[in-house]
Every structure is written in structure tokens, then in C-alpha cells.
Amino acid sequence: MDGMTSPAELYHAHRELLDRAISAASARDYWSAFPESPSKKVYGEEAAPAGDRAFTALLGQAFPIDVPGAVGSVSTERSPYGIELGVSYPKADPLALVAAARAAVPGWRDAGPQGRAGVAAEILRRLHARVFELAHAVQHTTGQAFVMAFQAGGAHALDRGLEAVAFALAATTRLPASAPWAKGPLTLEKTSTVVGRGVGLVIGCTTFPTWNGFPGLFASLVTGNPVIVKPHPGAVLPLALTVQVCREVLRDAGLNPDIVTLAAEEPGDGIAATLATHPDVRIVDFTGSSEFGDWLEANARQAVVYTEKAGLNTVVLDSTDDYRGLLGNLAFSLSLYSGQMCTTPQNILIPRDGIATDAGRRSPDEFGADLTAALDKLLGDPRRAGGTLGAIVNDGVAARLAEAGTATGVIHPSTAIADEQFPGATIRTPLVARLDAADEKTYTREWFGPVSFLITTDSTEHSLRIFTETVRAHGALTALVHSTSPSVLAAARTAALDAGVHLSENLTGGVFVNQTAAFSDLHGTGANPAATASLTDDWFVTGRFFTLQSRRHLPTVDPS
């Protein structure tokens, strides 16, 4: 399959997968195209060591990728696990990238929706063939532990990419490419052509470069746009691998490889802003800080801007019939990847008079002690703890954690954990602090990282009011409620609709509030300030293309 294969042939080859993905995206039941377990039973004996060797071979080298107009090179990454990376990339010239992208438009337009989806599916297939290598790249740039990097950064990211392909293919083929029209004696043939909006720009983040980057990349590609991929200087390698694969597939399909290019830069070069405001860049996908996301929304006026920023993920505690399950589930949610997920709960609201549980009524003090104990139990074994916590991605998170540690009310301080395999790793347990509902200056600020607050409120009703008001104002990607009362659950659902956030209810087992599954869970809503769209729905793809019609009379058929 690595010889010359046309986009139409790639569509034919991947048609079954694409049809299945479209049907899964519509049914919203559980489906995954890429196995999430890195075990030998699934991937064979050789996959893991081969991926390890491929990753190691990249270290200390110039990454093999050609970038139109690049001058010099940059090397900007630092492993949160403390190993030397030393990978360098061509340093991008933004104007040259835009010019190269524009030049690639006509051929990509002519490939048509199915051809583009075929190319996208082949890109995903070849990325999947390198998923162990990709997982190492994600681990050593984001600080995700290896298994999580394999899942969230590998298999699940590929699923999210395929989901975007499915939505984009469905949306661009919903109107027929050609349709006859007859009104009495008047007859016309009408043709519809999908045309991309312009050059797409994907601005990656440090924590989930692939999981958050793939949806925009594949949505823009399949809807007919060339894409410039601008990784965060701290997490270039996963996206460089991605762009390398994209360009290989495009070349092998006889297409201009500049349909996808890499924009690597020195920290502080600011080429994201230069690119995002270029008149030919018409689509911007961004994941990262609220500050730059808001700036993009305000300034990238020539583009449609899809941002996923940050917010105040909230837990409302009312009552439970599985207290032990609640504690274990919540402790894991706070600990997973050291709370460095845009979906990790920050604000945990509990009524002053406590919550009813199957273990008796628990006051806020008691609940705080129980949660602390649950965290200590979960993270008691350093080896297992490291696999859950991963490493601290950068100095910004570390600084916030230090700042939170100086405050009063800390009931679970953050502690350092050593890693046998990577002695240079920066691993920390989560911090939990007690606050009162009146301390809103503290808890309405986002503390991205392993910092959460247990906040005492007057009542569950008060908790729901704080939930709605703070999320409406500051955004959130997730919310969780625990209650055994149908009326409280109904009120929580209404509050979540008013707040504009997805809601999880009574999670006490193996499903966590911070995880969303492709083809089933929407991620982000657009209905609160944390994001302008969901991953992935029709709104996320329909702004990336236009449908242009042409019409002409059909030749008159002689009736004789």
C-alpha cells in the first residue's frame, strides 16, 4: 500500500472503516477502531521494542521532515521524565508556509470528499502502525505515563481523529454532488462542489498534542483545507511525527505534500499569532490557555476559531449510596496525569451539614479526611502512583502547585514521588485545600494542575447555584454530581443545561469524569466560555467548507 495509490483507491481501501465510523458517530454507542491496550496479545511481541528503538533513534537528531521555506533549526523540548531529547526541527517561515499551503489548494479540492477521507484514513492507519513510537514521543513531551500516553496520546487520539474524519465526510456528502431538477417543462442539472474555507492552522498544546490536535487537523483536511500544524515548543515531536506521516501519504497519493506542513519555532517567536491573523488563514484550531484562546477569538477575525481553553470543573456532592466508590473514583480523577487534564475537577462543593452516605452522614471535615485517605491509599505505592500521576509537564504547573501549598486550609499537601526508571522525573501527588463558598477569589481562578478545592456551601441548592454561576462566567469542560435524590439529580441536570456543561452522575466505578470517549461523548460544548465547540459535532466541521453550486439546462430530448 506504500506505492502510488490515488485518493479514490484509498477511499475504496478504507471504505468499510469509514462507513463504520460514520455509523458509530451517529449511534453514539461504544466503538473504537484502535485497540487501547499496549499488550503483546494485541500488538504482538515485536511492536513495543520496535517502537522503543524507533523513538530512541530520533533522540539527539535532526527530525527528518522537509518544511517549505524553513531556515535553520530549533530544538525546544525537555522531557518531564528528565531524559535528554535533543531533537531539532526546521525553523518555520510563516509566510512561506501560507504560500505553500495556498498553492496546494486546487489539487486538494479536486480530490473530493471521499478522496480526502481516504487519504485521512490512510494517515491514521500509518500513524497507528507507529503507535508505540508515538506513545514514547507523547510521554516524553507531555509527562503522561507510558500507558496513558499510549491510550490518550495514541489509540484514543486516533479514534478522535477518525471521528472528525467521519463527521467531515458525512457533512460534505450530505448534499448530492449532482441532482436533477424539474418544474413543469423547466429542467436543470445542478452540481454541488465542496470548497474548503482556506488555510487551516492547528495550534497544539503541551499536554495533549495529538488527542486535542487530531480533531481539527482531520476535520480541516477532509473538508478540503490545507493545514499548518504549529506545535507547542514543549511538545513538538508527536505532531512532527504526525506531519511526517501526512506528507508521506500525500506524496504516495500523488498529491502536493504541502497540504500539511509543520511550523516549529523558538519559544517566544509568536508565529501562532502571525499565522492566526494572516488573511489567508481562515480556520484556527487552538487548545491551551484561556488568555491566548481569548486573544485568538478577538483577533483572528478573518478566520473561524475553534478554541478549547480552561475552566472550573465542578463536583456537586449531595448524597451517595456508594461512599467508598465515590471516594475511590474521585481520588483517581484528581490524580490521573497529576490533574493536568482540562477535564480534572477543581471545585468540589459540599454542604455545610455534610452529605448522606451508606457509611452515615459525613461532614465536610470528615469528607476531607476520607478523600485524603483515599488519595493516600491510591498513591501509597510509589511505582503504581507514578503510572497514575505521570510527570509535571512544565514549570508553570509546578509554580502554581507551590503557590497553592503556601495557602491555609491544605488538607492534602502535594508530595514528590521518585521514579525508578526515570530518576530525573518530576512527579507530584495532588494538593487538596479547604475553602468556604465565600472564598470565590481563589476558586473562580483556574489552577491548572494537581490543585483542587473542597468548598463548603450552605446547601446543595447553594452548591448548584455556585456551580451554574461560576461555570457560566468562567467555563468548564466537565461536571459531576453525586446524589441519591431524583429531584436533586433533576435540578443538577437543569443547572448543567443552564451552565452549558456536560454532566456525569454518580460515577463510582471505572468511568471517570475526566475521560470522554470518541464516538460517544462530546468533549466541550461551546455553551460556556471554556470552548467554542464540541469535539466532535456538526458545528465543529460545517464552518470549514462551503458548498458551491452550478446549474444548467439539460439537453431537451426530442419526444418523437
Q: What does the CA dihedral 361, 365, 371, 372 come to, rounded to 10 degrees?
A: -150
Q: What does the CA dihedral 479, 523, 135, 46 come to, rounded to 10 degrees?
A: 110
Dist. CA 174–CA 480, nearest whole Å: 36
Cβ 511 to a copy of itself shortest distance, Å: 6
Q: 78 or 190: whose CB is closer to a copy of itself?
A: 190
Dist. CA 260–CA 242, nearest whole Å: 10
Dist. CA 11–CA 125, nearest whole Å: 13
Dist. CA 338–CA 375, nearest whole Å: 12
The answer to whether 486 and 399 have CB atoms below 8 angstroms apart is no
Cβ 299 to a copy of itself shortest distance, Å: 11
Cβ 537 to a copy of itself shortest distance, Å: 6
Dist. CA 368–CA 363, nearest whole Å: 8
CA atoms within 13 A on the CB side of 318: 22
Cβ 43 to a copy of itself shortest distance, Å: 19
The answer to whether 158 and 240 have CB atoms below 8 angstroms apart is no
Cβ 487 to a copy of itself shortest distance, Å: 15
Q: 1 or 511: whose CB is closer to a copy of itself?
A: 511
Cβ 458 to a copy of itself shortest distance, Å: 24
* DSSP letter string, 397-445: HHHHHHHHHTSTTEEE---EE--SS-TT--EEPPEEEEEETT-HHHHTS
Cβ 505 to a copy of itself shortest distance, Å: 4
Cβ 549 to a copy of itself shortest distance, Å: 5
Cβ 503 to a copy of itself shortest distance, Å: 4
Cβ 479 to a copy of itself shortest distance, Å: 9
Reduced to 3 states (helix: H, G, I; strand: E, B; else coil), residue 545 is strand
Provide the phi-psi class of 270: left if phi over 0, else alpha when psi is between -120 and 50, else beta: left
Q: 239 or 492: whose CB is closer to a copy of itself?
A: 492
Cβ 293 to a copy of itself shortest distance, Å: 14
Q: 84 or 294: whose CB is closer to a copy of itself?
A: 294
Q: 130 or 197: whose CB is closer to a copy of itself?
A: 197
Phi, psi torsion values for 444, nearest 5 degrees? -90, 5
Which residue, 524, 463, 459, 464, is CA-closest to 495?
464
Q: 25 or 355: whose CB is closer to a copy of itself?
A: 25
Which residue, 279, 297, 278, 277, is CA-closest to 288?
297
Q: Cell 507507529, residue?
A: 130
Q: Cell 430530448, residue?
A: 557
The footprint of a copy of itself (CB under 8 A) covers: 26-30, 109, 171, 174-176, 179-183, 185-186, 188, 190, 192-193, 195, 197, 298, 301, 493, 496-497, 500-511, 517, 520-522, 525-527, 534, 537-539, 542-543, 546-553
Q: 550 or 560: whose CB is closer to a copy of itself?
A: 550
* DSSP letter string, 310-352: ----EEEE-B-S-HHHHHHHHHHHHHGGGG-STTS--EEEEET
Q: 57 or 473: whose CB is closer to a copy of itself?
A: 473
Q: 372 or 520: whose CB is closer to a copy of itself?
A: 520
Indicate the residue type of 283.
Answer: I
Dist. CA 287–CA 378, nearest whole Å: 30
In eight-state DSSP terms, residue 360 is -
Q: 203 or 496: whose CB is closer to a copy of itself?
A: 496
Q: 22 or 250: whose CB is closer to a copy of itself?
A: 22
Q: Cell 483517581, residue?
A: 332
Q: 37 or 56: whose CB is closer to a copy of itself?
A: 37
Q: Cis bond leading into 470, ω under 30°?
A: no
**Angle at CA of residue 359, ends 353 and 364, nearest 5°:** 30
Reduced to 3 states (helix: H, G, I; strand: E, B; else coil), residue 121 is helix
Q: 277 or 520: whose CB is closer to a copy of itself?
A: 520
| Strand positions, DSSP E, 10-119 | 73-74, 89-90
Cβ 18 to a copy of itself shortest distance, Å: 18
Cβ 313 to a copy of itself shortest distance, Å: 15
Phi, psi torsion values for 451, nearest 5 degrees? -130, 120
Q: 421 or 549: whose CB is closer to a copy of itself?
A: 549
Dist. CA 502–CA 225, nearest whole Å: 30
Cβ 185 to a copy of itself shortest distance, Å: 8
